[in-house]
């Protein structure tokens, strides 16, 4: 099953929302330095005005504040959004179109205020952050489509003329559309959002937003909320008379996560307790909130702790009327302090302290209660880390990683020199992961290898190796189809890092030329069908069923086939069930590859495959599965088998052929063709 075919499934919805949030973040994050510069200028002007009366330099400097927030910042966002869609050509058209939205909004507000009866409060101007996030990418996309219409049809010598005038004309048209069409909609939308926030504030209900924001953070949906709603509204409020906004603190407060990690540091057990102090430092000082998500997902009841902590922080800031001048990015205590308004330090500091304390108290109660029930913390934490991807949003295809059985290949046929660590925004966990990996490379004496953190949307397509959070691997694979992909969950000390070091060493990137490992290298032209000719897969081990089956029935049949082939003992079925209880072996493309846990090696006597096609389908832990390929591997033989399965099921055309095959012999022939290269 392809990713596009899974849109109705809950995991796909989460991935789609994450992707949308990532796109918003990709537009906003590069502009954050400009927001910080604006915030510094604003803070300086406000402080000078508080302690002096009519100082000329302050009055002069204050003239920068309005144009920056009203024109410069939205246009910068539009430029970045347009560039993400269609490079600089899209950026120029998007900026022109966005200026039309800004001017249209100003015109409508001026007309409305002019008609107001005397004594009524006029409408404030709307800062077009949301308009820029819509018009920038939209205009760039239309420009890209328009260029495609006449590509290859322009007479030689007229290319520049057509390119210049087409972009200019489209920019003009989109500016008009923005002026008369989008500006009224955005003005209305911002008025509705502003009224909703005002209602929450006036009725002391703003702490209730923690019921949405804190769980959203844990499930990696924070970018959509933070950059799509809170930042535009917060900037509008901060640019007004208040000069600050509490909205910047709703998501950025590091207190709730710090409380959970502190509780694990004191009351946790096993691996969770050992890793919590490092995670606490990275989260609180480094501002990378992602590091505490697996700890909460390990015990979902800890959502109560982060919600309680978040609500406490919001309540404190409301009571002290505190806020930030500009967004704190990343959500580090250092960034928060730098962005705090001059009159808000007490409230902001107390909000962080109290939210940490409340989150810690609730988490401590939960951990202590659970500790009395179960003292085996190491297995629990390892299982939680393994399941983090499913909680964040099940990805549709892990064919390159093959359910963790071959997460990192032993070697590469080509030297690895370009490594990207990618995440949503390219500035959080990816930056930390890249830093950790660089140190490991240095310690291993690996030189001449570039390790860079990137946003997934910014992956350039030239990578040799890409490392991502597990739920983001599919999106990274689309951007870097020719790269090796590795998924991680624990950003501080992921075991995959050591495997990556060995992989890079074996590739010869450290200055030594390593021979290609035949286990991980696919068979070249003229190769033999190793799996078939060695008896790993025979006609008797392939079956076609017209009906459906349950997951346990499919596991039973796979184990029976492998046992009949003399490859496993009867104990292997339970080992397969144990594997599914820990990590689903569903791979995407309607394929599941059940196999035993590492502890079940004694139950494997020889390498073998079982291939069963269920035309009625199998519900594989919520995923529709047609092909169930049971695997037993002795030594490293199963890695070659998995590599060949990945080659076949990564091709939708080949999957269609397998589904259309009318006999077991046809399926065997198709598998043999792939193995023959």
| Alpha-carbon torsion angle 440, 444, 445, 451, nearest 10 | -30
Residues 40/338, Cβ–Cβ less than 8 Å? no
Q: What residues does 465 pair with on adjacent strands?
A: 419, 484
Both tokens assigned to 86: 């269609």
Q: Which two tokens stand for residue 677?
A: 């290269």
535: left (phi over 0), alpha (psi -120 to 50) or beta: left
Judge contact between 143 and 89, C-beta under 8 A. yes
Q: What are the C-alpha distances in Å from 260 to residues 139, 298, 313, 470, 638?
A: 44, 12, 15, 23, 40
Residues 6+ apart with CB under 8 A from 562: 541, 568, 572, 608, 610, 630, 632
* Alpha carbons 143 and 93: distance in angstroms, whole number: 8
Give CA–CA dist 584/595, Å, rounded. 10
Q: Are 397 and 289 in contact (CB under 8 A)?
A: no
Tokens 């983001």 map to which residue?
472
* H or E segment and range at residue 117: none
Residue 569 near residue 603 (C-beta atoms within 8 A): yes
What CA–CA distance (Å, rounded) separates 645 from 609?
10
Q: Alpha-carbon distance 276 to 295, whole Å? A: 9
Q: Is 463 helix (H, G, I), strand (E, B) or coil?
A: coil
Is residue 672 within 8 A of residue 528, CB to CB? The reply is: no
Q: Which residues of 24-33 are buried (b: 16+ CB within 10 A; e: fewer)?
A: bbbbbbbbbe
| CA nearest neighbour of 190 among 134, 144, 146, 137 | 134
Dihedral, 566, 570, 574, 577 alpha carbons, nearest 10: 40
**CB neighbours of 310 closer than 8 A, spacing ≥ 6?**
207, 210, 213, 214, 250, 253, 255, 256, 355, 359
Give catalytic residues, as residue numbers: 423, 595
DSSP letters, 411-450, are --SS---EEEEEESSSSSHHHHHHHHHHHHHHHTT--S-E
Neighbours of 115 (CB within 10 A): 7
Cα–Cα distance between 585 and 205 in angstroms, integer?
44
Tell the burial category of 74 from Cβ atoms under 10 Å away from its Cβ (0-12, 13-18, 19+). buried
User: How crowded is residue 162: how many other Cβ atoms within 10 Å of its Cβ?
Assistant: 14
- Cα separation of 266 and 274, whole Å? 10
Is it true that the peptide bond before 330 is cis, omega within 30 degrees of 0? yes
């Amino acid at each position: 099953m392809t990713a596009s075919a899974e849109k109705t499934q809950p995991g796909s919805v989460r991935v789609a929302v994450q992707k949308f949030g990532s796109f918003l973040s990709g537009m906003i994050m590069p502009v954050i330095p400009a927001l910080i510069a604006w915030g510094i200028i604003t803070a300086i002007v406000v402080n000078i005005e508080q302690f002096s009366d009519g100082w000329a330099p302050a009055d002069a400097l204050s003239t920068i504040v309005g144009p920056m927030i009203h024109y410069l910042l939205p246009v910068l966002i539009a430029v970045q959004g347009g560039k993400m869609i269609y490079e600089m050509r899209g950026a120029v058209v998007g900026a022109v179109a966005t200026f039309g939205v800004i001017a249209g909004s100003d015109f409508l507000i001026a007309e409305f205020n002019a008609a107001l009866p005397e004594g009524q409060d006029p409408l404030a101007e709307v800062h077009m952050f949301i308009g820029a996030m819509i018009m920038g990418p939209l205009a760039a996309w239309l420009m890209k489509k328009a260029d495609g219409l006449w590509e290859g049809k322009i007479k030689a010598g007229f290319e520049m003329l057509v390119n210049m005038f087409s972009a200019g004309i489209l920019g003009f048209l989109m500016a008009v559309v923005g002026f008369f069409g989008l500006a009224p909609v955005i003005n209305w939308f911002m008025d509705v959002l502003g009224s909703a926030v005002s209602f929450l504030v006036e009725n002391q209900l703003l702490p209730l937003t923690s019921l949405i924001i804190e769980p959203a953070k844990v499930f990696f949906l924070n970018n959509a909320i933070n950059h799509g709603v809170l930042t535009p509204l917060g900037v509008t409020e901060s640019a007004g008379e208040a000069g600050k906004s509490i909205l910047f603190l709703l998501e950025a407060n590091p207190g709730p996560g710090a409380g959970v990690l502190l509780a694990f540091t004191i009351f946790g057990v096993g691996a969770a307790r050992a890793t919590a102090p490092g995670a606490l430092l990275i989260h609180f000082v480094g501002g990378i909130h992602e590091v505490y998500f697996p700890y909460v997902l390990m015990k979902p009841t800890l959502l109560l702790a982060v919600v309680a902590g978040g609500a406490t922080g919001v309540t404190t800031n409301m009571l002290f009327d505190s806020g930030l001048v500009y967004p704190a990015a990343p959500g580090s205590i250092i960034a928060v302090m730098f962005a705090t308004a001059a009159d808000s330090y007490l409230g902001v500091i107390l909000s962080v302290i109290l939210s940490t304390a409340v989150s810690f108290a609730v988490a401590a109660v939960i951990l202590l209660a659970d500790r009395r029930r179960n003292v085996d913390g190491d297995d629990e934490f390892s299982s939680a880390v393994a399941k983090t991807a499913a909680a964040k949003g099940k990805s549709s295809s892990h064919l390159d990683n093959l359910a963790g059985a071959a997460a990192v290949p032993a070697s590469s046929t080509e030297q690895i020199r370009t490594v990207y660590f990618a995440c949503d925004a390219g500035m959080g966990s990816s930056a930390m992961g890249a830093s950790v990996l660089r140190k490991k490379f240095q310690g291993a004496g690996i030189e001449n290898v570039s390790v860079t953190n990137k946003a997934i949307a910014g992956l350039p397509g030239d990578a040799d190796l890409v490392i991502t959070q597990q739920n983001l691997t599919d999106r990274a694979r689309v951007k870097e189809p020719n790269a090796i992909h590795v998924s991680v969950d624990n950003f501080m000390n992921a075991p995959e890092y050591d495997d990556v070091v060995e992989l890079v060493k074996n590739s010869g990137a450290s200055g030594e030329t390593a021979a290609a490992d035949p286990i991980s290298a696919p068979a070249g032209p003229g190769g033999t069908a190793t799996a078939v000719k060695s008896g790993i897969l025979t006609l008797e081990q392939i079956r076609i069923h017209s009906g459906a089956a349950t997951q346990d029935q499919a596991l039973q049949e796979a184990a029976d086939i492998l046992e009949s082939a003399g490859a496993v003992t009867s104990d292997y079925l339970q080992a397969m069930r144990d594997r599914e209880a820990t990590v689903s072996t569903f791979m995407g493309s309607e394929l599941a590859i059940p196999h035993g846990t590492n502890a079940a090696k004694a139950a494997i006597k020889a390498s073998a495959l079982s291939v069963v096609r269920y035309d009625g389908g199998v519900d594989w832990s919520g995923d529709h599965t047609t092909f169930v390929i049971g695997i037993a591997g002795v030594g490293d033989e199963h890695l070659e088998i998995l590599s060949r399965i990945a080659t076949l099921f990564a091709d939708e055309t080949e999957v269609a052929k397998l589904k259309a095959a009318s006999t077991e012999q046809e399926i065997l022939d198709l598998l043999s063709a792939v193995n023959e290269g």
